[in-house]
Amino acid sequence: MKAAICREFAKPLSVEDVELGPPLENEVRVRLAACAICHSDITYMDGGWGGQLPLVLGHEAAGVVEETGAAVQSVSVGDRVLVTLIRSCGHCASCESAEPFLCAEDFASDQRVRLSDAQGQVLGQGLKCGAFAEEVVVDQSQVVAIPDTIPLDAASLLSCGVITGFGAVANTAKLSFGSSAVVIGCGGVGLNAVQGAALLGAQPVIAVDLVADKLSAAAQFGADIQINAKEDNAAQKVREATGGGADYVFVAAGSSHAVASALEMLGPSGTLVLVGMPPTGDKVAVEAGDVAGAGQKILGSKMGSTRLRVDIPKLVMLYEQGRLKLDELISGRYPLEDINTAIDEVRADKALRNVIILDETLI
């Protein structure tokens, strides 16, 4: 099969023949229709989180099940599915506490060679998916069936960007109706935080970014107020619009500077939600006494605190009702051979979500 391989940090991906091992008893082989490009892939390939190369990246995908292991019961051959990086064992403390997104257990597949190139060199399966490829083999917990009412290119966005942004609002923060909400960073994840806040009745919804086009997009996704932090004092503008500070501030940008600015926007008893993932080593200084004195809260949100089999059907329903925007998030569609062009556009803030089309016939 064809896959895009990253052999050096910050170097272009190459498309080469790759050998994919068969599924174990708890695994599923999926023929992919589409895989969207997430900033996490770019941070990873730039060396922001360390790791070992070479590897195949890509983790925001959708396709059709082609083969299942003997113990798989959740999906069947022919099912249309999302493929995600959320992998859960079902029996650890996190899983038993209804937090499968925090599962850190080892899996049998971690001890075997899953991918190798034509020369026999072992390749890493980036973010436990390796979905910049025609096929993947993943644990059954990483896939969830979806109906044929949603095209697979749009559906792929649910696998990460949508659940991360929307879930940060609905699941992690549990935003209350009528609260004020600020979203810093209006890329794919941030726009889903914006539309999540709007759908849950936040008032006002304030979008903050450095790029005018992204702020225009935020308005289409439900932002009442747009602030260009390059041109204005964003914290001051937020305080003026909210009467002293926001009830919720969601940082969807993977930037420690954005986190620091978010603290200045937060009102008394407000909640700061960290959604974006900065590079390893990034730190933020916090005036602890001010946070304690104002009764403020700081929450981390991993993958939108998503429970796949609970949340995905709800999001699909919202899409079917025309209330959740997915198609509007897609800036461009590219074949696997043009993946570097698609990545460069995302890196340069010229796209919300570019999608790699791996099998047009499955869409």
Digit-coded pLDDT (tens) for 297-317: 999 999 999 999 999 999 999
pLDDT range class, residue 349, cuts 50, 70, 90 = confident
Question: In angstroms, rounded to a whole number, what is the distance separating the alpha carbons of residues 115 and 2?
Answer: 11
Mean pLDDT of 23-42: 95
Residues of the chain above pLDDT 70, percent: 100
Domain 2-161+306-362 falls under CATH 3.90.180.10: yes
Q: Please identify, in words, the CATH class of the domain defined by 174-300.
A: alpha beta
- Among the residue ranges 203-207, 216-220, 348-352, the one predicted with the least confidence is 348-352
pLDDT digits (tens, 9 = 90+) for 158-205: 999 999 999 999 999 999 999 999 999 999 999 999 999 999 999 999
pLDDT, position 299: 97
pLDDT, position 108: 79
Question: In angstroms, rounded to a whole number, what is the distance separating the alpha carbons of residues 2 and 241?
Answer: 51
Mean pLDDT of 327-346: 96
Question: In angstroms, rounded to a whole number, what is the distance separating the alpha carbons of residues 275 and 175?
Answer: 14
Find, among 196, 217, 200, 193, the residue nearest to 330 by Cα. 217
Please list the residue range(s) of the chain that carry CATH number 3.90.180.10: 2-161+306-362
pLDDT digits (tens, 9 = 90+) for 238-271: 999 999 999 999 999 988 999 999 999 999 999 9
Is residue 137 exposed (0-12), middle (13-18) or buried (19+ Cβ within 10 Å)? buried
Please list the residue range(s) of the chain that carry CATH number 3.40.50.720: 174-300
Residue with tokens 């991360």: 164
